Homo-oligomer: A and B are copies of this chain.
Amino acid sequence: MKDFSCPQNMYSLKSRDGRNICFAGGDGCYLFDETGKEYVDLWNGFGSVLLGYNDEDIVKGFNYLISNRALSLQAPTSYLKQLSRLLLEDYPHKSQIGIFPTGTSAVRAATLAALQKTGKDFVLSSGYHGWDVMWSKGTRLFEPNSYGVIDFYYIIEKLEELVHLYKDRVAAVVVSPDFSYFGNAFYGKLFSICKENKLLIIVDDVKCGYRYAWGPSLSPEAFPADIYVVSKCIANGARISCLIGNEDIMKHISDFCFTSFFDIYSTASAVITLKKIKERNVQQKIREAGDRLILGVEQIIKKWGLPISITGNGNLFQFVLASSELSEAFYQQCTDNGIALYKDDNQCPSYAFDDNALRKVLSKFEEVLSSMALMFPGLLGKDIPIKRFHLAAYYQTDGCAEAMDYDEKVSLITELLYR
């Protein structure tokens, strides 16, 4: 973000000259840049604006805060009580919540609590858990990094092997569920390995918690975890992440206090968002609209004969493209034509994505794909190499899709991270 005097490499939409596009506002599923250009938004603030921009209940809630002189309040409020209640009713066997500003800090807190509770020093991990260096890769593949974390990249055989190798040192398994590339068979094996070996399970549900339905993305009956972390879907973009667990582990976060703990903006946003998604069956409506979108885009892709596929479902999906050149061109064309996407990663329609937006975005995709058919005549009718699916899975999950065989998994990770 050099044009913002900031070294952090935040993803954002780029104009053709490489500058970050600056936005002025948003309405429902539309974003507007500073020139007034409109974008149909599937980027969705990295999947964090579930209700959409300028949502009437969020606006009403903020007007209420203003008229009740609650802006800038930094003290316990009834919102905090409501937030605990709203979350805990979706986690039937849990009794406490923890509050953090981001998924990064919340998952770090959960993991530190697990280490503290068990007195052990290793953690086995799959998936992205934020920027903290505790998740950085080890010097060698499948060996602990200097913080005792070993990434098994969703390779279940490797998890089993590591558990046996480091039996008495492993405190917990930390996993970020993903439903585009992993099914119940995967989670079943993972949970049974943890149960057999008495390992704590931390579900980093930052991306998927409340994404497909209320509460945990994995059924708490079939897949009971020790701590859950939720964030992206609970507060319509406000800066908050919550831990959900029981006292035996949660007591170890008692000293994790910070100045803006009581922050009224994020607490109120979370309460308003959680209430609305419960009342309106928000995830189901997103799913239906998103599925129609996927179907429509697939038809256009087929019509133009481009080697592009879509994985996932209407709540969260990903484009898989036959080559990196095709990918570069596709995302830039989409930006130019007014479709905001999260490049190479997951797309998330919001609750505000309606039939009108569907028509609009399909005609934009028609523009994009017709001009790409002219740009890439040699690719028309070609298949997508299987490797591109594996890469897409890695871009979305930081791991290896369940469908790959063991050797493919190990060689993909070696190629991407250890060469």
Contact = CB atoms under 8 A, between A and B. Distances in A.
Contacts of A150: none
A263 interface: yes
A54 B69 contact: yes
Interface stretch (A77-85, A159-167, A180-188): A77-85
Contact of A8 (B6, B27, B99, B263): B99
B232 A5 contact: no
Interface in A20-66: 20-27, 31-32, 34, 43-49, 51-55, 58-59, 62-63, 66
A229 interface: no
B78 A22 contact: yes
A254 interface: yes
Nearest to A75: B23
A412 interface: no
Interface string A250-278: 11011111111111111001000000000
Given A58-B71, A74-B48, A259-B45, A4 B251 contact: no
Interface stretch (A193-201, A234-242, A309-317, A368-376): A234-242
A55 to B, nearest CB: 7
A130 interface: yes
Contact of A73 (B23, B78, B250, B251): B23
Contacts of A237: 72-74, 260, 263-264
Interface string A211-225: 000000000000000
Contacts of A55: 71-72
Given A46-B259, A258-B130, A259-B231, A4 B81 contact: yes
Contacts of A232: 259
Contacts of A12: 75-76, 262
A108 B264 CA distance: 25
Given A130-B258, A260-B238, A265-B265, A71 B84 contact: no
Contacts of A31: 73, 75
Interface string A350-390: 00000000000000000000000000000000000000000
A95 interface: yes
A58 B72 CA distance: 8
A101 interface: yes
Nearest to A261: B10
A346 B13 CA distance: 44
Contacts of A102: 101, 105, 258-260
A88 interface: yes
**Among A12, A43, A85, A131, which residue has the most Cβ atoms of chain B within 10 A?**
A131
B45 A75 contact: yes
A231 B130 CA distance: 21
Given A13-B75, A26-B73, A238-B263, 18 more contacts: A3-B81, A5-B97, A6-B96, A8-B257, A8-B261, A9-B254, A9-B255, A9-B257, A10-B257, A20-B76, A24-B70, A52-B72, A53-B72, A63-B66, A74-B237, A102-B258, A112-B133, A237-B263
Pairs of residues from A and B, 7 with the lowest C-beta to C-beta distance, nearest first: A45-B74, A101-B101, A5-B84, A25-B69, A239-B260, A54-B69, A23-B75
Interface of A: 1, 3-13, 20-27, 31-32, 34, 43-49, 51-55, 58-59, 62-63, 66, 68-78, 80-81, 84-85, 88, 95-99, 101-105, 108, 112, 130-133, 206, 231-232, 236-239, 247, 250-251, 253-266, 269
